[in-house]
A and B are shown apart, each in its own frame.
Chain A
Amino acid sequence: MALFNLKVVTPERVFFDGETEQIILSTVCGEIGILARHESYVSILPPGPLRIKIGNKFKVAAISQGVVKVSKDKTTIIATSIEWHDEIDVERAKEAERKARQTLSHKLSDLEFKQAEFKLKRALNRISVSSKYNS
């Protein structure tokens, strides 16, 4: 199948820059798959998995938040942070989950609630990606 150019960037590094056949990711509107020659498309990504087809296999990474932008010649994913499933520090994610739950048990302002909820989602996403694909 046809390949397309994919670039995944974070503030700390260029996470992925190369050719791929397909990616599958979850946007705020649900899960979508992107193949070569996809229409121009922009959407927002909540914490969730990103699957990139490398060779015949999908490799999975955990995105914490981001934007996906598909244009004619390339697809860009702009992520706040992203790790391959085997890079995730599960202990740290569990600690973050515990802390976020603790924060959420207090009375919070709207913004504080949103931030804590987001932290919890991020931690849960890391834990789920790591436990599903690390075996």
Chain B
Amino acid sequence: MASANMKDIKRRIKSVESTMQITKAMGLVASSKLRRAKEKSEKSESYFEALYDTMREITSENRIFESIFNKKSDNVLIIVIAGDRGLAGGYNSNVLKLAHNRYNELSSSKNVIILPIGKKAVEYFEKRDFKIMAKYSYIAESLDIYDSSSISDKIAEAFIAGKIDRIEMAYTNYVSSLVQQEKCISILPIEDEKMERVNNLTTYEPSTEEVFNMLIPQYISGILYSAIIDSFTAELAARRIAMDNASENALEMINDLSLIYNRARQNTITQEITEIVGGASAQF
């Protein structure tokens, strides 16, 4: 009996050990990728800031301000950025839940379309039969600006043609290696507390409207680029934490199981000795 039990425990220890090897390896891979992703995201910062400032200035320009903010927004696009893979703690479910809530909020009065990026987001919204504009998987890891341009061209076309009047985006912001915050922001129109209506003296060539329209695809592409990289960085950080926790739990389990195993082993030895002693004393 006891030895059969011991065999089981031994088998379980082995299986937990091999799981721990996998989680450890995944944690290491995530942390080395995280470093690269962080560098990429830092490099794109000043590009994005410059683009955002220009866009904000031109939006605050009188006429554009009028045309954008007085427009009714019946057709809303929500861009949802999640991961391609699981095993990253609450990373995917948090951002998808946020996007779903936002959808519920808007869909009572408006027509909402989704643009999922990342396999998990695509699966989530397809399974629930949402209206999907376009979908993209496996682009985050080797993303370059032309990938995000080809997505943004489609969105900008629909926006300028008036098929969409409002664009929002749900993504995850990498705050630190321990904190990742899911967010839902409005891309167009820009909503910024600092924004006010002004009549500045900047010359826009050929014209304010044309510059604005030509800026839209570049602006969306820039914002997508940095949001996808930001989310990917957050995903890796979340995965690293999840894998570290899993490894820790596995180690704890191995310790517990080893304790049980040793106790069982001692029991069998004690029992054998008692049997031998009992047998020997019976002979005399």
Contact residues of A with B, CB < 8 Å? 7, 9-14, 27-29, 39-44, 65-67, 69, 71, 76, 78, 80-81, 111, 114-115
In contact, B43 and A40 (Cβ under 8 angstroms): no
How far apart are the CA atoms of A71 and B203 in the complex, in Å? 10
How far apart are the CA atoms of A35 and B47 in the complex, in Å? 23
Closest chain A residue, CB of each to CB of B206:
A29
In contact, A41 and B54 (Cβ under 8 angstroms): no
How far apart are the CA atoms of A134 and B47 in the complex, in Å? 28
How far apart are the CA atoms of A115 and B152 in the complex, in Å? 12
Q: A29-B206, A39-B203 are in contact. Are A78 and B44 (CB under 8 A)?
A: no
Neighbouring A residues of B150 by C-beta, 8 Å: 115
In contact, B201 and A40 (Cβ under 8 angstroms): yes
Neighbouring A residues of B203 by C-beta, 8 Å: 39-42
In contact, A40 and B200 (Cβ under 8 angstroms): yes
How far apart are the CA atoms of A29 and B54 in the complex, in Å? 19
Q: List 19 A-B contacts (CB under 8 A).
A: A7-B46, A9-B46, A11-B225, A12-B43, A13-B43, A27-B205, A29-B206, A42-B203, A42-B205, A42-B211, A44-B211, A44-B214, A44-B215, A67-B54, A67-B218, A76-B54, A80-B146, A81-B145, A111-B157
Neighbouring A residues of B154 by C-beta, 8 Å: 111
Known: A11-B47, A78-B50. 6 other contacts (CB 8 A): A11-B226, A27-B205, A43-B211, A69-B50, A80-B146, A80-B149
How far apart are the CA atoms of A115 and B153 in the complex, in Å? 8
In contact, B47 and A43 (Cβ under 8 angstroms): no
- Nearest Cβ on chain A to B225's Cβ, whole angstroms: 6
Neighbouring A residues of B225 by C-beta, 8 Å: 11
Contact residues of B with A, CB < 8 Å? 43-44, 46-48, 50-51, 54, 57-58, 144-146, 149-150, 153-154, 157, 200-206, 210-211, 214-215, 218, 221-222, 225-226
How far apart are the CA atoms of A42 and B204 in the complex, in Å? 5
- Nearest Cβ on chain B to A60's Cβ, whole angstroms: 21
How far apart are the CA atoms of A14 and B149 in the complex, in Å? 19
In contact, B43 and A69 (Cβ under 8 angstroms): no
In contact, A12 and B44 (Cβ under 8 angstroms): yes
Neighbouring B residues of A71 by C-beta, 8 Å: 202
Q: A40-B200, A42-B211, A78-B51 are in contact. Are A65 and B218 (CB under 8 A)?
A: yes
The 4 residue pairs across chains A and B that have the minimum distance between CB atoms = A40-B202, A43-B205, A44-B214, A9-B47
How far apart are the CA atoms of A12 and B225 in the complex, in Å? 11
